[in-house]
Chains A and B, each alone.
Chain A
């Protein structure tokens, strides 16, 4: 893992992710969370809110293996979403997770990646003014 150099010339941004799982085989490492990890150093601050089914990106589990066999090739470079969420936390992002979606999907908040923050939907929205911009990625 590398840590992106922070130049901080860009505005503070809250990135809301409400669609996940956009192309495992073709994306591999190049998924939405990678983009945030790769670019956040350019911004004064960048945080992430996971909503809807995207909250599952932050749910810990131990079954998924990011690998698929295609022909004679074992493609073991599929996205590791939980690992990326851990990286976000490690690199100073605040990772906000929609509590209603977590509950509706039957998960206990205790299953979320350590360091993430589980919030009611209204609490997510009232945080918007803390940021210069809000992006739905």
Chain B
């Protein structure tokens, strides 16, 4: 059975995997804004930053992360990708936390969870 379609007016649960990040070029941050829009519309949104996607949660400007957090989305950062890029917990936005791939595996195998990879 595939992750079910949300009934009209119902809420869905999304696990969004961002692998590109805000250093990938113009419009690179649009995927996070997709997540924010879903969260603002009342859906459950978890964002998992992996590979270069982890850069979206570091540095001086993280508007996509701020908006996701304000909308109630959970923001996870792949621990392997972060360490590979010399990034530790203190380097990340306070709205994000490090997580292992096991967390992604658990979420993606939840009943009804919809995964989207960017």
| Bound: A57/B99 CA distance, A | 22
Question: What are the residues of chain A within 8 A of B88 when measuring CB–CB?
Answer: 61, 63
Question: What are the residues of chain B within 8 A of A104 when measuring CB–CB?
Answer: 59-60
Determine whether B118 belongs to the interface, using a CB cutoff of 8 Å to chain A. Answer: no
Contact (Cβ within 8 A) B86 A56: yes
| Bound: A64/B98 CA distance, A | 13
Determine whether A107 belongs to the interface, using a CB cutoff of 8 Å to chain B. Answer: yes
Question: What is the count of residue pairs linking A and B with beta-carbon distances less than 8 angstroms?
Answer: 43
Size category of the binding interface on chain B: 10 to 19
**1/0 contact string of A59-92 vs chain B (CB within 8 Å):** 1110111001000000000000110000000000
Interface on A for B, CB 8 Å cutoff?
21, 24, 52-53, 56, 59-61, 63-65, 68, 81-82, 104-107, 111
Interface on B for A, CB 8 Å cutoff?
21, 23, 51-52, 55, 58-60, 80, 83-88, 91
Closest 9 CB pairs of A and B: A59-B86, A64-B83, A61-B86, A63-B83, A53-B23, A56-B85, A106-B59, A56-B86, A105-B59
**10 other contacts beyond A53-B21, A63-B83, A105-B58, with CB at 8 A cut-off?**
A24-B84, A53-B52, A56-B87, A61-B83, A63-B88, A64-B83, A64-B84, A104-B60, A105-B59, A106-B91
